[in-house]
């Protein structure tokens, strides 16, 4: 049974990671609560399994070999603390984008590509929230038909930008003007999540395109457009898939319904329906009229839970079951 800790435990994803570890009775010998700076940790404690744990500044010196660390910090901060903790013997599952495209670091959605893990990894990357729900919907379809291309437009909730953004949304809904540095969330659609780069794509779009290809091990193009919408929790994706051969919608829906972690609906599910759930919901699977090789569907998930915290915990659960896992993790 390993020691386990959350780095960034005072943030939205970090708190949810801690909650899910308790909900799923993840085996923990000693829980460690970490923040990345003094302002987040000063005088604070967090409850875990009936006890309060002081929030500490993350330091490799406080890590014993085999400790499982769940990272819930920004990419810049992750690059500061992860190398030292890995050198100290920790196994890190990082939610930031810092190492997602590093070929030496597995990028994992357990229901889709668990086979890339050996149990000997010291660093595993958790994909982008929008990527996780997309690949969960695409994987069972790709197992039945060759995909030629995917087009996806996302409608991403404000919680994807963290607790300060949620507070900003609350303020704006109450009638306050946007504070400096924040977009107008309320009553608006923000059509670029982060500034566009030289090719016109914003970072969220690039992540979605590149991570999908890496996780699925395929080379079909993913045409992505991402937007922020005035919703608290729950990302929605409008997905169109072109296959090499006809794929009747009823057959596709059946394949999706049989896939772990996926719930199929035909009733018009929305973000309010998926908040607090662990499933990826695929709604209104349909063929494009006149072309039975094109499928369209809506894909939704709670971006804080399955899109971040739950996926990370599922990775750790998978590691514990692998025969090659270090003795300190068993």
The pLDDT, as a whole number, for residue 330 is 43
Tokens read off for 140: 């069972």
Domain ranges of the chain: 4-128+308-329, 130-302
Q: What is the DSSP string of 143-160?
A: TTS-EEEEEEEEEE-GGG
Q: Helix H segments across 88-229? A: 110-113, 129-142, 163-173, 203-216
Cβ pair 271, 236 in contact under 8 A:
yes
Weakly modelled stretches of the chain, pLDDT under 50: 327-328, 330
Residue 40: what pLDDT? 65
Q: Are 156 and 228 contacting, i.e. CB atoms less than 8 angstroms apart?
A: yes
The helix (run of H) or strand (run of E) holding residue 15 is: helix 12-23
Do 197 and 241 form a contact (C-beta atoms < 8 A)? Answer: no
The CATH number of 130-302 is 3.30.360.10
Homologous superfamily of 4-128+308-329 in CATH? NAD(P)-binding Rossmann-like Domain (3.40.50.720)
Integer Cα distance of 89 and 81 in angstroms? 13
Angle, alpha carbons 23-76-129 (nearest 5°):
45
As annotated, the active-site residues are 129, 235
Contacts of 324 (CB under 8 A, 6+ apart): 118, 119, 120
pLDDT tens readout for residues 85-109: 999 999 999 999 999 999 999 999 9
* Half-sphere exposure (Cβ direction) of 263: Cα atoms closer than 13 Å: 14
pLDDT at 304: 97
Residue listed under structure tokens 């079951």? 321
Residue 39: the pLDDT is: 60
Side-chain-side CA neighbours of 47 within 13 Å: the count stands at: 3
């Amino acid at each position: 049974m390993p020691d386990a800790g959350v780095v960034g435990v005072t943030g939205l994803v970090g708190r949810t990671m801690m909650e899910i570890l308790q909900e799923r009775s993840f085996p923990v010998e000693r829980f460690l609560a970490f923040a990345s700076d003094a302002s987040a940790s000063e005088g604070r404690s967090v409850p875990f399994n009936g006890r309060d744990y002081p929030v500490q500044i993350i330091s490799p010196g406080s890590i014993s070999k085999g400790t499982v660390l769940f990272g819930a910090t920004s990419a810049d901060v992750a690059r500061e603390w992860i190398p030292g903790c890995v050198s100290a013997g920790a196994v890190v599952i990082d939610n930031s984008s810092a190492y997602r495209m590093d070929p030496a670091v597995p990028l994992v959605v357990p229901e889709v590509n668990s086979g890339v893990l050996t149990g000997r990894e010291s660093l595993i990357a958790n994909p982008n929230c929008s990527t996780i729900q997309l690949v969960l919907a695409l994987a069972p379809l790709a197992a039945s038909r060759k995909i030629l291309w995917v087009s996806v437009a996302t409608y991403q909730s404000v919680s994807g930008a963290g607790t300060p953004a949620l507070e900003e949304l609350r303020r704006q809904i109450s009638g306050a003007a946007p504070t400096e540095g924040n977009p107008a969330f309320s009553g608006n659609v923000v059509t670029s999540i982060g500034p566009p780069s030289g090719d016109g794509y914003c970072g969220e779009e690039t992540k979605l395109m590149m991570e999908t290809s890496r996780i699925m091990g395929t080379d079909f193009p993913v045409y992505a457009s991402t937007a922020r919408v005035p919703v608290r929790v729950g990302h929605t994706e409008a997905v169109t898939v072109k296959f090499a051969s006809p794929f009747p919608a009823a057959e596709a829906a059946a394949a999706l319904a049989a896939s772990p972690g996926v719930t199929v609906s035909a009733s018009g599910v929305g973000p309010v329906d998926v908040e607090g759930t662990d499933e990826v919901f695929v709604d209104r699977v349909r063929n494009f009229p006149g072309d039975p090789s094109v499928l369209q569907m809506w894909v939704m998930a709670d971006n804080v839970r399955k899109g971040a915290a739950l996926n990370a915990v599922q990775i750790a659960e998978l590691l514990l079951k692998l025969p090659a896992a270090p003795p300190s993790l068993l």
